[in-house]
Amino acid sequence: MSDETEQLKQFSGKSIAGTAFIFFLAQLFVAFGQQTFAAQVSGGELSQHSPVMQPGKVAFPSADADVRGGVPTLLDGYMFLPEGQGPFPAIVGLHGCSGLFTAGKMNARFVDWGTRLAALGYVVLFPDSFTPRGVSGACKEESRSGFSAHRERPKDAEGALRWLQGQSMVRRDRVGLMGWSNGGTTLLATISALSKNTPSDDFRVAIAFYPGCTSFTKKGAWQFRIPLTIFIGEADDWTPAEPCKALVALANAQGCQADIVTFRNAYHDFDHPDLPLKTRKGLAFTVNNQGTARVGTDPEGRAAVLDLVPKLLSRYLDMRPGD
């Protein structure tokens, strides 16, 4: 095992598989190590030096016609655009069980990520899976009936992909997928469902933040084609890290390109730009089976993913000479 891989293992607490993809992540960690992460937090956030970008609203059909008996759901989408004419690589972002909005405004986490990624040259599209269906949320047991991260929402991700691929500003063969919490679970279901597509018709890379992995580990077999990275906190008591570690091991054993990076002191929502640690109640599934879990920003984990995610996206989505 290389020194670089050992350093990443010590940082994240994850098991390492000997693949080129994981070596690439190890190299990223060496280039932007733990000391650098701490310096970025104390030295100021990128958003302080970036222009404020407001998302534009678009509409496109979900690919859920087969679920709805032939008539697809018309979804709202919120899109952050980079400067210039393009064509640009693009990212579909999947919101969590609380939806895309908080108190009538787009959740600060998604505004933050959308602004950052657009500033780096990506078109970023966030589909709203809830509002067009009259769904207010899916975090609590009573709000989950008839709506699933395994059924409807992967169809929304596919619809967003197809719509982006039809836009002249987008490179159709350079679209990535990101998802948070319930959106991360949706991501895992999506890349499995689309695994039979040809490479030019599929997402190129998938990045999941604190997804629910338990249901996938129970299947005993789980395969996909595109590279996957999961970022999750070791202290997460809503969607725990251990099932995701097991899922990544299962995927790697079947020849898939998967990795997981964990953060020792991070809870759920650790990448939020400014969320004081608090306890949420009334949740459908939690580690303690009492419906309570802690959520909040972890400065170290947040700084780490702000460095690592752009590097991962660049490797798979940026256009290079000869593309």
18: phi then psi, degrees, rounded to nearest 5: -85, 75
pTM of the model: 0.84
3-state secondary structure of 114: helix
pLDDT tens track for 205-242: 999 999 999 989 888 778 888 999 999 999 999 999 99
Q: Are residues 124 and 91 in contact, defined by beta-carbon separation less than 8 angstroms?
A: yes
Give me the chain's average pLDDT, please.
83
Count, in order, helices (H) and strands (E) of the chain.
Answer: 9, 12
**CA-to-CA dists, residue 322 to 111, 170, 202, 276, 319, angstroms:** 33, 17, 20, 46, 8
134: left (phi over 0), alpha (psi -120 to 50) or beta: left
Fold category of 56-317 in CATH:
Rossmann fold (3.40.50)
Long-range contacts made by residues 251-255, C-beta under 8 angstroms, separation at least 24?
A: 251/222, 251/223, 251/224, 252/17, 252/19, 254/221, 254/222, 254/223, 255/223
Report the 10 Å Cβ neighbour count for 214.
Answer: 16
Domain ranges of the chain: 56-317
CB 34 within 8 A of CB 11: yes
Instruction: For 243-287, write each residue's pLDDT tens digit.
Output: 999 999 999 998 999 999 999 999 999 999 999 999 999 998 899
Q: Give the model confidence (pLDDT) of 132-182 as tens digits.
A: 998 888 898 655 555 678 888 999 999 999 999 999 999 999 999 999 999
Block residue for tokens 């599929």: 202
What gap in Å lies between CA 256 and CA 249, rounded to an integer? 10
On whether the CB atoms of residues 263 and 233 are closer than 8 A, the answer is yes
Query: Residue 214 corresponds to which amino acid?
Result: T
Q: Taking a C-beta distance cutoff of 8 angstroms, is the pair 222, 251 a contact? A: yes
Q: Hey, is 17 helix, strand or coil?
A: coil
